[in-house]
């Protein structure tokens, strides 16, 4: 199959906003890929989902700058493109960067204009065609003549879409496809997509949301599980005898980097296991260390550095134990099993129907230095890959009134707007200390307003960033402070987002860097 066929499809996806029309485009190109055989389906399904088959190519957004102009006529096949990226991904050692760039230039030179757009999107990871994995799964279902749920479930259990697309589209009939899909089951050693949580502003809201959903039959005061939310990295651990594998949230295998987790799981009383949890670094008193330290420890491959801190695993769910799949069992049942098989490494929780008790647990765990809680429906199954309503996280929220120091131009649907704002706190000398940036929390109306407003405050414009007279106050919400070498105050806001612009306050009334410092040293 020609790569240009995929580029054409991608262009048609960009051209329509209708998801049904997008799905029709995807179905069409998937069917044509199927005619070319399983290898074409494998590559095309990846590309339509916005990914290369190679997890790391060494090429990124920055490398795309110096690419040559387009070819006039299409010539590349999807297999040739895949082979080119496989070659680039395999390069290492001195001279490899140069060689990789040369290979990329050759590839781009052979690509037409729309093919170049697709290549760029795949390399940068920003395809912007309004359709990624979820819509692709729907299209696979339609192309294979099977229910969308069957395809989705197979993909969640396989931990990937490519293999599922190949299986479904390689089938001779819808019945055959259905059977092939149903053969994707939870397998020890193959990670599933982790279940995700929605968020709520406070525990009472989270509890109310869960009981409202469970309360179709108006059961009064349904019980909920209130799990401690740890500020570490998500881990999914598979054990088959002495063979233990540790995967991250994106299903990356990090087993070699975390021997202490492997050892901890080997000591548990079960032969086969699939556990879902969090790993973090603790201090001498057993309190959690800052996330940055956990991140540092879990990212390093250097043995000496790794020895400087230990990760402790805590589990909050079990998907499999000794031949028994628990995905469809209610949480209540899974937790009973978890407590038996993972005893010293289970996340602290309370189970209650009393919102006050739930709130009290939240206060206690935050006081103990933890990130917050996740409130869960007791009867819900494990919904792999879904940000279901059955899990709702709650974290403390801080706010500050800061001054907008500068603003950057937006891109994509925000192009033409001033979008990403630079945030500063007052210092004692009458100046401002930058604490980070944010683009979050802005409605279209706010974007329109600030685009005009910041033009009024413009002091300089370098073509990307507009520097402002420091007059506009904005109320910012954030999760906490982290150490920073990038910003002059030594702090940066974590997960900053705009709540509202404050026209009732002048810059002289904004919060000070001293107030911020006090937050950092409780």
Partner DNA sequence: TTCCGACAGTGGGGTCGCAAT
Partner DNA sequence: ATTGCGACCCCACTATCGGAA
Catalytic residues: 229
Contact with DNA (CB under 7 A) among 176, 379, 408, 427 = 408
Q: Roughly what angle, to the nearest 10 degrees, separates helices 133-144 and 148-158?
A: 130
227 is in an annotated binding site: yes
408 is in an annotated binding site: no
Q: How far is the CB of 84 from DNA (least distance, A)?
A: 14
Q: Does 501 bind DNA (CB under 7 A)?
A: no
Q: What is the dihedral of CA 21, 23, 25, 26, to 10 degrees?
A: 170
Q: Does 399 bind DNA (CB under 7 A)?
A: no
Cβ proximity to DNA, 154 vs 442, nearer residue: 442
**CA distances (Å), origin 473, targets 421, 449, 468, 500:** 11, 14, 12, 9
253: β partners: 247
278 is in an annotated binding site: yes
Contact with DNA (CB under 7 A) among 45, 129, 161, 352 = 129
* Backbone angles phi and psi of 444, in degrees to 5: -60, -35
Judged by DSSP in three states, 25 sits in: helix
Please tell me the distance from the alpha carbon of residue 170 to that of residue 28, in angstroms, as a whole number: 15
Q: Does 412 bind DNA (CB under 7 A)?
A: yes
362 is in an annotated binding site: no
Buried (b) or exposed (e) across 222-236, using 16+ Cβ within 10 A? Answer: bbbbbbbbbbbbebb
Q: Does 120 bind DNA (CB under 7 A)?
A: no
426 is in an annotated binding site: no
Contact with DNA (CB under 7 A) among 217, 428, 443, 521 = 443
Taking alpha carbons only, the member of 366, 362, 407 closest to residue 202 is 362
Number of residues that bind DNA (CB under 7 A): 90
Write each residue from 29 to 68 as x if it is in contact with DNA (CB under 7 A), else as -, in one continuous string: ---------------------x----xxxxxxxxx-----
Q: Does 517 bind DNA (CB under 7 A)?
A: no
Give Cα 171 to chain centroid, integer Å.
32
Cβ proximity to DNA, 49 vs 352, nearer residue: 49
Q: Does 449 bind DNA (CB under 7 A)?
A: no
Residue 522 contacts by C-beta under 8 Å, 6 or more apart in sequence?
none
Q: How far is the CB of 58 from DNA (least distance, A)?
A: 5
Please tell me the distance from the alpha carbon of residue 313 to that of residue 233, in angstroms, as a whole number: 10
Cβ proximity to DNA, 287 vs 500, nearer residue: 500
Contact with DNA (CB under 7 A) among 298, 312, 359, 472 = 298
Please tell me the distance from the alpha carbon of residue 104 to that of residue 124, in angstroms, as a whole number: 13
Beta carbons within 10 angstroms of residue 330's beta carbon = 15
Q: Does 436 bind DNA (CB under 7 A)?
A: yes
Q: Does 295 bind DNA (CB under 7 A)?
A: yes
**CA distances (Å), origin 217, targets 209, 211, 378:** 15, 10, 16
* Range in contact with DNA (rule: CB under 7 A) among 19-27, 219-227, 318-326, 509-517: 19-27
Please tell me the distance from the alpha carbon of residue 493 to that of residue 501, in angstroms, as a whole number: 18
Q: Does 92 bind DNA (CB under 7 A)?
A: yes
Cβ proximity to DNA, 385 vs 470, nearer residue: 385
Q: Does 482 bind DNA (CB under 7 A)?
A: yes
Which tokens go with 324? Answer: 């028994």
Taking alpha carbons only, the member of 242, 314, 324, 330 closest to residue 276 is 314
Q: Does 103 bind DNA (CB under 7 A)?
A: no
Residues 242-281 that bind DNA (CB under 7 A): 248-250, 252, 254
Q: How far is the CB of 290 from DNA (least distance, A)?
A: 8
Q: Does 352 bind DNA (CB under 7 A)?
A: no
Q: Does 500 bind DNA (CB under 7 A)?
A: no
Cβ proximity to DNA, 180 vs 438, nearer residue: 438
Decide the pairing of beta strands 473-478 and 497-502: antiparallel
Write each residue from 185 to 224 as x if it is in contact with DNA (CB under 7 A), else as -, in one continuous string: --------------x-------------------------
316 is in an annotated binding site: yes
Please tell me the distance from the alpha carbon of residue 197 to that of residue 275, in angstroms, as a whole number: 17
Q: Does 398 bind DNA (CB under 7 A)?
A: no
Q: Does 462 bind DNA (CB under 7 A)?
A: no
E strand or H helix at 275, and its extent? strand 272-281
* Range in contact with DNA (rule: CB under 7 A) among 87-95, 268-276, 358-366, 451-459: 87-95
Please tell me the distance from the alpha carbon of residue 308 to that of residue 254, in angstroms, as a whole number: 18
Cβ proximity to DNA, 321 vs 347, nearer residue: 347
DSSP string, 285-311: TSPBPPHHHHHHHHH---HHHHHTS-E
Q: How far is the CB of 419 from DNA (least distance, A)?
A: 4
DSSP string, 81-93: HHHHHHHHHH--S
Q: How far is the CB of 522 from DNA (least distance, A)?
A: 19
Which residues are part of a known binding site?
A: 227, 234, 249, 278, 316, 387, 393
Which residues are part of a known binding site for ATP?
A: 227, 234, 249, 278, 316, 387, 393
């Amino acid at each position: 199959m020609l790569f240009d066929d995929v580029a054409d499809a991608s262009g048609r996806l960009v051209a329509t906003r209708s998801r049904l029309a997008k799905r029709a485009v995807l179905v069409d190109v998937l069917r044509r890929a199927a005619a070319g055989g399983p290898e074409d389906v494998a590559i095309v399904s990846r590309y339509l989902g916005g990914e290369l088959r190679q997890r790391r190519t060494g090429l990124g957004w920055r490398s795309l700058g110096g690419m040559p102009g387009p070819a006039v006529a299409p010539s590349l096949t999807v297999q040739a493109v895949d082979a080119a990226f496989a070659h680039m991904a395999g390069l290492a050692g001195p001279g490899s960067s140069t060689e990789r760039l040369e290979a990329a230039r050759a590839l781009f030179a052979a690509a037409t204009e729309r093919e170049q757009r697709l290549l760029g999107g795949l390399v940068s990871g920003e395809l912007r065609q309004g359709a990624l994995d979820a819509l692709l799964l729907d299209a696979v279902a339609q192309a294979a003549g099977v229910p969308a749920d069957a395809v989705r479930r197979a993909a969640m259990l396989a931990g990937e879409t490519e293999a599922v697309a190949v299986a479904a589209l390689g089938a001779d009939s819808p019945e055959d496809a259905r059977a092939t899909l149903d053969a994707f089951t939870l397998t020890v050693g193959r990670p599933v997509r982790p279940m995700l949580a929605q968020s709520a502003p406070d525990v009472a809201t989270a509890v109310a949301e869960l009981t409202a959903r469970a309360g179709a039959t108006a059961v009064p005061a349904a019980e909920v599980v209130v799990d401690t939310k740890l500020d570490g990295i998500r881990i999914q651990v598979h054990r088959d005898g002495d063979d233990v594998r540790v995967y991250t949230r994106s299903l990356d295998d990090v087993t070699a980097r975390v021997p202490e987790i492997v050892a901890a799981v080997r000591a548990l009383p079960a032969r086969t296991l699939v556990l879902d949890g969090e790993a973090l670094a603790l201090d001498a008193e057993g309190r959690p260390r800052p996330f940055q330290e956990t991140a540092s420890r879990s990212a390093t491959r250097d043995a000496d550095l790794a020895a400087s801190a230990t990760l402790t695993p805590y589990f909050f769910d079990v998907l499999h134990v000794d031949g028994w799949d628990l995905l469809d069992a209610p949480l209540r049942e899974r937790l009973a099993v978890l407590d038996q098989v993972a005893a010293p490494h289970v996340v602290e929780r309370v189970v209650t129907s009393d919102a006050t008790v739930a709130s009290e647990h939240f206060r206690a765990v935050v006081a103990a230095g933890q990130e917050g809680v996740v409130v869960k429906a007791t009867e819900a199954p494990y919904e792999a890959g879904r940000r279901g309503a059955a899990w709702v996280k709650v974290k403390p929220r801080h706010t500050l009134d800061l001054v907008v120091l500068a603003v950057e131009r937006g891109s994509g649907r925000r192009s033409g707007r001033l979008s990403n704002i630079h945030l500063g706190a007052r210092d004692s000398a009458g100046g401002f200390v930058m604490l980070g940036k944010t683009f979050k929390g802005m409605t279209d109306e706010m974007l329109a307003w600030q685009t005009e407003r910041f033009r009024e405050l413009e002091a300089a414009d370098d073509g990307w960033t507009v520097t402002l007279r420091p007059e506009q106050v904005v109320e910012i919400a954030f999760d906490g402070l982290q150490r920073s070498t990038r910003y002059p105050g030594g702090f940066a806001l974590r997960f900053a987002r705009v709540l509202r612009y404050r026209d009732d306050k002048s810059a002289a009334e904004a919060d000070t860097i001293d107030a911020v410092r006090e937050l950092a040293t409780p």
